[in-house]
Structure 1
Amino acid sequence: MFFILSWIFTIFMVLIWGAFMVAKIHFYKFRDYSKYVVPVTKILSLVLLILTIVWYYQIYEYSELNMEVQTLKEATVTEVY
């Protein structure tokens, strides 16, 4: 389950990071129009990096959960009359 979730998330994050890199190129192209373009871009890249690491950790924790299912034969049944 971990490998499936990590591959899906990796493909998703490649698309997000790719769009961010294209936007970053355009931000730096027009950096002369505002003094806040460069700091905001650096903050956004840091936030995106932190979120990526946290989400990978969440996928790891979710896949490591012990999801054992007991069948009816394995479960103990107490009959009450």
Structure 2
Amino acid sequence: MSDPVRGTFRQRYDELETRREALVARLRGLGGATAQHPGYKRALKLLNDTFRKSKLAQRLAVLEAAAWLIDILEKLSTTL
């Protein structure tokens, strides 16, 4: 039986996918000169390739790493 706090596999999968989509939108919103930064490409790789290849239990950590990198890029975008 599934733990009601954690939810079903499908619920957790959908929640992670929703978070990923929000991060992709946030990253794409930076655009401009930031899109040329190597960190931009790395964040995209985390959100697409690495996320897809990771097991469900590891995906949250991948999203946190991508969010951290996007935070840095947002701060850099004011200087680029």
TM tier, smaller = 0.3 to 0.5
Q: TM-score, normalised by structure 2?
A: 0.47
User: Which structure carries more relative contact order (alpha carbon 8 Å, separation 6+)?
Assistant: 1
Q: TM-score, normalised by structure 1?
A: 0.46
The structure that has the greater radius of gyration is: 1
Higher helix share goes to which structure?
2
